[in-house]
A and B are shown apart, each in its own frame.
Chain A
Amino acid sequence: GAVVSQHPSWVICKSGTSVKIECRSLDFQATTMFWYRQFPKQSLMLMATSNEGSKATYEQGVEKDKFLINHASLTLSTLTVTSAHPEDSSFYICSGLREEKGSSPLHFGNGTRLTVT
């Protein structure tokens, strides 16, 4: 159980356009979802915490107007990268929070590879 589906797996877009990434919890209700970004050879960097029905909490240095997060239901959170630039090219990973005794509280999507040309 605890499956998270992330779509698309990869996307190439032109500079200045917007890209939407979807994250769905398929078999559990994720009140809280996390959005991470990972640059090559670096660890996961938390971008924001998304709570269903409320505004996302962004980490320091992450522009909330550029990275729009919507968590309208208990099974869907979306991240929209607005006016994308080449420096936004990265691996974006979402995860749903579901506490399981003795196991990981985070259930990751498969990630989205974004390339901005």
Chain B
Amino acid sequence: GIQVEQSPPDLILQEGANSTLRCNFSDSVNNLQWFHQNPWGQLINLFYIPSGTKQNGRLSATTVATERYSLLYISSSQTTDSGVYFCAVEEGGTASKLTFGTGTRLQVTL
């Protein structure tokens, strides 16, 4: 099956700093989503981005499907950005199965 690798596994930032999270995948995909899991365990949809670039406030994401990677940019980080960020992909030709990476754990400090 498809492999999804996220980097870095852990990240500590001071409030106000910018960061880039990376997701590499091993095969072609028809769906790619970024999620934020907050400290209470809730999964929050950030982006549905099988290709191209999207922006939502301080967050933006870019997927280069031909090179099999996606990037999530967080600018001017806030303590509420803390949590785990997951990338998940849906492999082309499979029946609707999202394969998740192991996540990037982000801690934003004052």
**A pairs with B:** no
- Residues of A at the B interface (CB closer than 8 Å) are none
